[in-house]
Structure formats: C-alpha cells, structure tokens
Amino acid sequence: MSAVPHPLPTPQEPVGHPELVQLGTALKGDEPCLRADAARNRARLLEAAGRLVAERGAEAVTMEAVAAEARVGKGTVFRRFGDRTGLLTALLDHSEKKFQASFLGGPPPLGPGAPPVERLRAFGRAMLRRSAEDLELQLAAEPCASRRFTNPARSVLRHHVVMLLRQAAPDADCELLAHALMGQLDPALIHHLTKQCGLPMARLEDAWTDLVDRVTGTAPTR
C-alpha cells in the first residue's frame, strides 16, 4: 500500500473519494481474460478469508490458512494482497467505502449540508458504531507503526476531520488537533474501553460529542 499521504484539503476544497489500494489489481495493458481471472481469484481468496473470520475469528486469518481454505498456493495470496495487513484491509474494503460515501456525499449531518461542528459530532459517533461492528477485524488489520498514519483509508478520515476543524475552529492548529481527536476513535482504545473496562458504547459517543464541543467552543443543540 502507498505510504504517501493525500494532500491536506482546505475548507473550500471538497475531499475526494479515493479508492482503497488493492494490491492484487491487474496492471494496465493486461489482457481482459487475465484481468477477469485475477478478479475471480481475488474474490475467491476474500471469500475464503471471510469464512475463516466467521468460523474462527480474525486471528485465524493468516496467508497460509487462506491459501489452504481456498486450495491455492501461498504465493498466490501474497501476490494478490502483499501481506496479511493487505489481506485484512481488503476484507474491510466494502465497509470502508460505504462509510466514506456516507460522510463525503451522504445526507446530513454526517454528509454535506450541516454545520461543521454538527458534522464532526456525527462523524465520530458513526465511526464508533462502525468500529463496534468490525472491531476484531479492524484490530487485526492495524498497520505496523511505520504505516499507521500513512495508511490511505486512515488518511482520508483524518483529512476529513481537518477540513471540518478548519471551518469550525480556523485559529486552531487543525492538523495536530485532528490527530488528537482521531486518537479517541482508535480501534485499540475502543477495544480497551468497551471490552476490558466494560464501558457502554453510548458513553464513548457522548464523550466524543463533549470533546468536539470543548475543542470548538460550542454547545450541543438541545
């Protein structure tokens, strides 16, 4: 996956809708039948990985296990996804694109059309709910430290927060503040608070709203 972050958007510049990197995508110029075969093989491998997650949990998803489940050579899995993180990220691809579509072009307050503070509140709450649904898989797909903050999907989320902060709090250091806000939405922290500390998700959602309101100096609409 690319380690080059997307350019930071300005308040007037709408965030684009980049696709998640798919390491198994065929190269331009390949024969159509080869591209079709590659797509079928990729779908077959993802189906196998999905079965492993459903039956044994995300920890059971290794390159070797997926190859055995799909009855292909291990090298085929590496060629399609690069490494285990790439494979798990591909499994999250559909829900990631669906979430991106909701905050980039969906209805307000998550999508365009609502004031920036309302969109920030809705964004964090939606991310928390999404993490609750895919938490085990998100934890297993966590990039290594050197790629954690350059991961393309994560960069899109952070840059969206930067854009909204620039509209809501233009005098703040919005780039660093976005990192601080995103820290509260980190899957590892969500796991710790909900699974190890037993906090209800509703408390995390309320804490996000409170944090946004304090950072932007606004009060929630009653």
Query: Tens digits of per-residue pLDDT, 170-193?
Result: 999 999 999 999 999 999 999 999
Q: Does 22 reside within a domain?
A: no
Q: Is the pLDDT of residue 149 over 60?
A: yes
Contact 187, 131 (CB under 8 A): yes
Question: Is residue 26 situated within a structural domain?
Answer: no
Model confidence at 16, in pLDDT bands (50, 70, 90)?
very low
Q: Where is pLDDT greater, at 29 or 221? A: 221
104/184 same-domain check: yes
Instruction: With cut-offs at 50, 70 and 90, classify the pLDDT of residue 15.
Output: very low
Does the pTM exceed 0.75?
no
CA 116/CA 222 separation, integer angstroms = 17
Same structural domain, 50 and 121: no
User: Do 56 and 127 share a domain, yes or no?
Assistant: no
For the chain, percent of residues with pLDDT exceeding 70:
83
CA distance 128 to 117: 17
Q: Is there a contact between 88 and 137 (Cβ–Cβ < 8 Å)?
A: yes
Q: What is the mean pLDDT of the chain?
A: 82
Going by pLDDT thresholds of 50, 70 and 90, the confidence category of residue 222 is: low
60 and 170 inside one domain: no
**151 and 177 co-located in one domain:** yes
Contact 23, 82 (CB under 8 A): yes
Contact present, 161 and 123 (Cβ < 8 Å)? yes
Of residues 48 and 212, more confidence is placed in 212
> Which range of residues forms the domain containing residue 44?
36-82
Q: Which domain-ending residue is among 82, 101, 118?
A: 82
Instruction: Please indicate, yes or no, whether residues 99 and 147 belong to a single structural domain of this protein.
Output: yes
Residue with tokens 């004031």: 115
Distance CA 88, CA 53 (A): 10
CATH of residue 62's domain is 1.10.10.60
Q: Are residues 78 and 152 in the same domain?
A: no
With respect to residue 73, please indicate whether it lies within any of the assigned structural domains: yes
Output the DSSP codes for 148-181: TTT-HHHHHHHHHHHHHHHHH-TTS-HHHHHHHH
Query: Is 78 inside any structural domain?
Result: yes
User: Which of the pair, 178 or 60, is modelled with greater confidence?
Assistant: 178
Instruction: Give a yes or no: residue 3 inside a domain.
Output: no
